[in-house]
Each structure stands twice: as C-alpha cells, then as structure tokens.
A and B are shown apart, each in its own frame.
Chain A
Amino acid sequence: MFLVSLVLVASLWELYKFLGPEDGGEIFGWPVLPRTGARSMPHTWEMVQRLFDPEVRGNDRPIWFAVAGYAWYTFRMALAGLIIGSVFGVALAVVMSRFRVIERGLLPYVIASQTVPLIALAPQFAALGGNWDLPKWTWVAALGAFLAFFPIAISTLRGLSSPAPASLELMDSYAAGWWVTLRKLRFPSAVPYMVPGFKLAATAAVIGVIVSEVSTGVRGVGFAALTYAQAATSDPAKVYAAVFGAALLGLAMFGIVVAAEAVVMRNRPRDVAA
C-alpha cells in the first residue's frame, strides 16, 4: 500500500508538471502555483537517474554514494544526540518523580520548551562549542540531545506517575522502598508512555542536527541539501538526491525506535489503536 501511495505521489507530480504553468502561476493573485519548467521541477525519472551520476563534474563518485556518506554522518550525530538526550531525559524524569518540589519547579519550563523553537539556540551552542575547541560535530550532536531531551523527560515522567493506586498500595504492603518500587513498578509501567516520547525525540534530534548543519557548515545531509539547491539552476535534479537521503535517514531513525518498541513491548497487550 505504501508503494502504491508513492507511485501516486509521483504521478501527481508528473501530472502537475504536465498541466501546470511554465513560470509559476497565481490563484487570486497569490503566487502559489509552482513553476513547472525543467529547471524548477525535474521529472521524477530524472531525479532517479541523477542519483547515479557523478556528484561533481569530473569526479568519479556517483551522487547516491556521496549523499549516503552525508546521510550517514548526520545519522550518527542524530543517534548520539538521541542517546545522550534520553539518558538525561530519563534521569530528570526520575528526579522529578522523586522530588515533587523539583517537578513543580521545572515541569512548566519543560512543557513550555515544547512550544518554542529551541533550535533558535543552535548558534549559541555553536559559539560555546567553538570556544571550547570541540569538533563541530559534538555541538551539533549536543543540540540534537537538547532537543531530544524534553519530549523524553515529559513522557517518562508521565509514565512514572501512571501506576494504578492499587498497585502502589500493593508495593506499600510489601514495605518496598521508593527505589525498589521504581524498578519493579514505575519503570515498567512507564514504558508504553515512553515510546511515543522517543519517537518524537528521534524526529526532533534529526531535525535539530540537520538545521544545525546549515548554520555550522558541518557536512551532513542538510548541508548537502542547501548546497545542491544553490546549484539548482544548472543541475535541478541534484537537490532531490539530498532530499531522498534525508528521507531515508529519518526513516532509519524512526525504524530504530520502532524496532526497540517491538522488543520492549513484546509481552504487552496490543493496543486497540486507530
């Protein structure tokens, strides 16, 4: 079914290219119709074909190979960011669960962080990282961690508070301490809540890393997209290679989380989901 929808999208693209105005058009005076000229909107098969051509004229490396390299670089930074962000996010959630005062003090900020563009701080990370003589990729990964941290903290905290009162009473009746209750009850209860948090965090880390590349010039897939786009007048299909690379990267990150979910939730009742 997924393949069918991909084909549909491709055909819609071609259909529009066939029908649409060459130089872009207007609806009620709004310039909302894209240009369909060969420069702006290459054919889908041209995009695929371009994947196998060399990256730069005179260079032997086919573009798909180059893009794969960039995507791999971005992937590693995003993954590092996700892992670091999860460690801190879970730790903070545990601390907030233990000390209600800290929860009340920090939670509003953590929630508010979901509504503001944290990416705005990317240049600040770059400045600090540059000063401490750290290689560029570390602070890009750090930004990814920063972005991944918040959704994980929120969802983990929510999950840690999820056990039924009867279960908490049960652990009380066993005279089990806070730490034991955390390990045996709160944490396993939290897992179904953490999964959507991790999915959000994975996406956030990827986007964060890609956007940082743009401002720091680190050579990942975001950088590639921007550079290729600048060459678009002469080489329109090239930028789509970067887009495909970014797409695969995002799917790979998502896939990792989904695979982890399958392992971690294997004994749980199936959700009656949409």
Chain B
Amino acid sequence: MSEIRTGAPTPPGTNNVVAVDGASMVFNEGRSNQVDALCDIDLVIGPGEFVSLIGPSGCGKSTLLRLIANLLSPTSGTVLVNGKSAHQARLEQDYGMAFQQSGLFEWRSVEKNIELPLELKGWKKADRRNRSREMLELVKLTDFTEHMPWQLSGGMQQRVAIARALASHPALLLMDEPFGALDEMTREHMQTELLRICAAAGTTVVFVTHSIPEAVYLSSRVVVMSPRPGRITDIIDVPLGGDRSEGTREDDTFYKLITEVREALRASETGGPIVVGVRGIEDR
C-alpha cells in the first residue's frame, strides 16, 4: 500500500526516531512522598524498530513512554523524537498514541472517533472521510463505520483506537499496554494484526507491556526495566525475523527468548548485575 510519512524529515546523520539521553524523572522532589520514577535512562530507537518496555509495576515503563510522548517532562536529561525535542514533536504531531482503555469518545461513531486527530489538524471533511475509511479497512472494521463504541467488543474498540492512532500516518506509534484488558485469544489475534499493520506502514513502535510472550512476539528488541529507582537493566535482541505468524509462537527460538527475558527480569528484581545490552543502532 502507498504509505505517506507526514512527520517532519529527520536531519541527516541522525535517523534515530527516539533518542533518550540521561533522562531522569523524579516526582514530588524534596517532599516526603518523593518518587524516583526513572533514573538516568539511555535509549535509542531506529526507524522501523518495534521496541517493548517490560518490567514489574513501578519500574517506570509507562513514565518513560510518557516522556517520549511529552506528556511529562524529564527532571533531567533530554528526550529527542525525530531529531527534535519531544515537545516540538508533539506540537508537530509526529506520533500516535494508544492506551489500555481504548479511550474512544462514546458520543462519536467509530468513523468520527478515527477522524478526531485529523479534525484537530484542520483537515477538510472529504480528506478526513477518505482517511478514516482507509484506516477502517486496515483494521478490518469497515462494516462498523457508523456504529457507536459501546456497540463494539473490547477487541474491536482497541482496533478502532489503533486506527485512530495511525490515522495521520505517524512514523512513530506509542502504546501503553493496549491489549491489557483483552482476553488471551483476542490478545494474540490483535498482536498479529498489529504486526501486519505496522509492517505495512513501516511504523516505529514503542510498546509497554507486562506480558513476556507478548513482548517477545512483537518486538525486535525487548527493554527490561526494574523499579526503585526505575532504570533499564537489560536490552535483549529478538532475532525472530520480520515474518512472524501464529506459527512463530510454537518455535523453539520463541521459547528460548521468553526464558531469556524472564531470567533478565528475575535478575533485575534480585538486584543482579546490571547488564547493559546492545545500545543503539548505527545503521538500519
């Protein structure tokens, strides 16, 4: 399918989509309820990568995602998206975002929900209509264009939320446990769908989850984090190739990688050696 990148072009020599450098996030600094949510995070993500953030509660994975999204500002360090500040990237709408609750507006039809970001960008009505139809086809919900969100199942609502997140064809997709509220079977189905959609569009994805199989199945790299203070303890490559399918779930390599991630998580919990894995990518 023809694919249009509408994000601002990255300056030459810096084709990293996300570059987090020494970022820290402290809540309630100086007060008795101070929380060191993130401590000295370094992370670089290149175009087309699918990176999962995984870790126990309180490890700061959602906070890190929100730093990238510029919904929070780091107390120190920098966050660059597409070579510019995260703030600038948000103002220029360089990314799309999806949350655990689908967050659809209950008073808007499915179609109008998808059109929301386009309305805010000032697109004309006809253009909006065309794009939302295109997205509906992408997530295979064309039959439900005029439906209201409450008429749809949880999985379908999440598909609409993903369609909305991709409506403006952003180069970067940020997702915070979007499948967390779904049952296992729907979840696995959605994972395959997500891979298909992102592969077709070449989207870079940062994905927060606390499901190990999900992280391994979806990602090209898995970032393992641990809490108190939140930090990256390991980055694990997932060489499962680009053509993943339901069959992949039964591969030996798949299980091996799951074990690797699980052990990394355990090590981080017991305060084992902090292994800083492969950092950054020179070229993709």
Q: Enumerate chain A interface residues (CB-CB to B < 8 A).
A: 164, 166-167, 169-170, 172-176, 180, 184-185, 188, 191, 267-269
In the complex, chain B residues 58-105 whose Cβ is within 8 Å of any chain A Cβ: 66, 69, 71, 90-91, 93, 95, 97, 99-101, 103, 105
B148 interface residue per 8 A CB criterion: yes
Give A169 to B101 CA distance when docked, in angstroms.
Answer: 12
- Neighbouring B residues of A269 by C-beta, 8 Å: 106, 148, 150
Chain B, interface residues (CB within 8 Å), range = 20 to 34
- A200 CB to closest chain B CB, in angstroms? 23
- A273 CB to closest chain B CB, in angstroms? 15
- Neighbouring A residues of B119 by C-beta, 8 Å: 184
Instruction: Check B101–A164 contact: CB distance below 8 A.
Output: yes
Given the known interface contacts A169-B71, A172-B71, the answer about A191 and B97 at a Cβ–Cβ threshold of 8 Å is no
Given the known interface contacts A172-B71, A174-B117, A175-B90, the answer about A166 and B101 at a Cβ–Cβ threshold of 8 Å is yes
Given the known interface contacts A175-B90, A180-B120, A184-B116, the answer about A268 and B107 at a Cβ–Cβ threshold of 8 Å is yes
- Neighbouring B residues of A174 by C-beta, 8 Å: 93, 116-117, 120
Give A264 to B150 CA distance when docked, in angstroms.
Answer: 17
Given the known interface contacts A166-B99, A269-B148, the answer about A176 and B120 at a Cβ–Cβ threshold of 8 Å is yes
- Neighbouring B residues of A180 by C-beta, 8 Å: 120
- What are the nearest 3 A-B pairs in CB distance? A269-B150, A166-B103, A166-B99
Give A180 to B95 CA distance when docked, in angstroms.
Answer: 19
Which of A167, A176, A188, A267 touches B103 (beta carbons < 8 Å)? A167
Residue of A nearest to B176 (CB): A166
Q: Enumerate chain B interface residues (CB-CB to A < 8 A).
A: 66, 69, 71, 90-91, 93, 95, 97, 99-101, 103, 105-109, 116-117, 119-120, 148, 150
Q: What are 13 inter-chain pairs, A to B, with CB distance below 8 A?
A: A166-B103, A169-B66, A169-B99, A170-B97, A173-B69, A173-B97, A175-B91, A180-B120, A184-B120, A185-B105, A188-B108, A268-B106, A269-B106
Give A269 to B149 CA distance when docked, in angstroms.
Answer: 9
Instruction: Check B116–A164 contact: CB distance below 8 A.
Output: no
Instruction: Check A188–B101 contact: CB distance below 8 A.
Output: no
- A171 CB to closest chain B CB, in angstroms? 8
- B42 CB to closest chain A CB, in angstroms? 24
